[in-house]
Amino acid sequence: MSRLDETHDPARRSWVEGANDASTDFPIQNLPYGAFSRDGSGDGGAVRIGVAIGSQVLDLTTLEEQGVLRPGGDEAVFADGTLNAFMALGAATWRQTRHRIADLLDAANAPTGDERAQVSRALVPMKAVRMHMPVFVRGYTDFYASREHATNVGTMFRDPDNALMPNWLHIPIGYNGRASTVVVSGTDIRRPLGQLKGPQDDAPRLGASAKLDMELELGAIVGTGNPMGQPLGTAQAYDNIFGYVLLNDWSARDIQVWEYQPLGPFQSKAFGTSISPWIVTRDALEPYRAPTPERVKPLLPYLEEETPNNFDIRLEVDLAPQGQAATTISRTNYKYMYYSAAQQLAHHTLSGCAMEPGDLLGSGTISGVAKDSFGSLLELTWNGRDPLPVEGGTRTFLEDGDTVTLRGWCEGDVRIGFGACSGTILPAPDGVPA
Ligand code: CA
């Protein structure tokens, strides 16, 4: 059954400023959710829930207070500055709310009278808001789903002839990351300290990471949980995902290489993970569904998918040294991922692991086949062997003051954009207190 409806109609236009520009990430067909505040607005900087439309943010917290929009009935779900309570209402409510918001913003069918005035007053210019974490991240799991990325890393660190581990073609590989250091785009990232040990060193030393890297990923946000002991199939897992964000899994390669065996990454990934502020809903992405690549080996039946559950999302990475213009260092597409987020979520629950609204799943670094489509500096510079030209110099890994910005969008009759996910590197702490 097609999931497409009038909210996806490319002919639909909005009466809101900037919403019909061909270049906007946020036409009426998108309607991504975020959390924002307004400095100097007289409300004490309260964090509110909003939807991006053109150059504006529609304040859903206010519309809920006024009764224009009541997705939770008597329960206010946009009042606490996160989307967790709204997400917990489930997919049918997400869909109804999307329809209601689209109707309020529709040029052909715009509300009139008091309602039109209320909606107009609830629009805030995007340039006047500060964005916050859109969800309380309950848990963060990072996967490793790009065959190209896993092959590149295996070639560099292990054995070019057996670059993929034997389990990789059968199982979505992942590890439990840190939810506490998932931060919204625009948050600075401090270079981490760690134990460092080169191959020729007799013993490790304490120092600042000299191989600080980024990882281009997509984050899936679980909206509907599953009880402990009850695994999900891939179709249900697909439906339980509320939406997607851009995700930068900052990584310290020199800390990683010393610590990662036998239990996987730990401090090398725990110091910061950035996400874009606007959650593009699964509903908005429906027209851009794409199949996963052809299976090299058959999957166990619980991982098979009857529908295309990947998405055709174009992705770019910009790197700007301090005071310099940005250079686009990678261009790729999410559709190359070998495992979909639905497969990852299904596998995550297989043992009976409970998932909750606000759980975040990182896709794993998104790398294509061509060298300019790799999703990390580790691959783009081949572990520092091939410096990358950027404005004003070259890079092997990130330097202090560098800003990395991820962008993503679906291209078709309309542009469904994710906005940007950026972060700037601050110098490492002077040391560890005695
Ligand atoms: Ca990662």
pLDDT > 80? residue 40: no
- Residues classed as catalytic: 149
Q: What is the mean pLDDT of residues 169-189?
A: 98
364 CA to middle of ligand 1, Å? 5
pLDDT > 80? residue 46: yes
Three-state DSSP state, 298: coil
Q: How far apart are CA 330 and CA 207, in angstroms?
A: 29
Backbone φ, ψ for residue 205 (5° rounding): -130, 160
Query: For the segment 292-332, what is each residue's pLDDT rounded down to a tens digit?
Result: 999 999 999 999 999 999 999 999 999 999 999 999 999 99
Residue 45's pLDDT is 87
- Quickly state the pLDDT bin for 423 (edges 50, 70, 90): very high
Residue 1's pLDDT is 52
- DSSP labels for 158-200? T-GGG-S-TTTTTS--EEE--STTEEETT--EEPPEEEE--TT
Domain with residues 6-132, CATH architecture: Roll (2.30)
Residue 248's pLDDT is 98
265 CA to middle of ligand 1, Å? 9
The type of residue at 76 is A
178 CA to middle of ligand 1, Å? 12
Residue 39's pLDDT is 80
Q: Which residues contact 64 (CB under 8 A, 6 or more apart)?
A: 70, 71, 76, 77, 78, 79
Domain definitions of the chain by residue range: 6-132, 140-426
- Contact assessment for residue 314 and residue 216, using Cβ atoms and an 8 Å cutoff: no
222 CA to middle of ligand 1, Å? 18
Q: Given 3.20.20.80, 3.40.50.300, 3.90.850.10, 3.30.70.360, which CATH number is that of 140-426?
A: 3.90.850.10
**Residue 205 β-bridge partners:** 196
Q: How far apart are CA 112 and CA 118, in angstroms?
A: 10
pLDDT > 90? residue 41: no
214 CA to middle of ligand 1, Å? 9
Q: What is the mean pLDDT of residues 213-221?
A: 98
Query: For the segment 142-166, what is each residue's pLDDT rounded down to a tens digit?
Result: 999 999 999 999 999 888 899 999 9
Q: At CA 220, angle to CA 219 and CA 224, rounded to 5?
A: 150
Give me 145's structure tokens.
Answer: 């789903």
Q: How far apart are CA 57 and CA 17, in angstroms?
A: 11
274 CA to middle of ligand 1, Å? 11
Sheet strand arrangement including 189-190: 189-190, 415-426, 403-411, 314-320, 327-333
Residue 158's pLDDT is 84
Q: What is the mean pLDDT of residues 120-132?
A: 97
Q: Is the pTM of this model over 0.95?
A: yes
Helix residue spans in 71-183 (DSSP H): 84-87, 91-105, 113-121, 147-157
Give me 191's structure tokens.
Answer: 């270079």
- Contact assessment for residue 421 and residue 185, using Cβ atoms and an 8 Å cutoff: yes
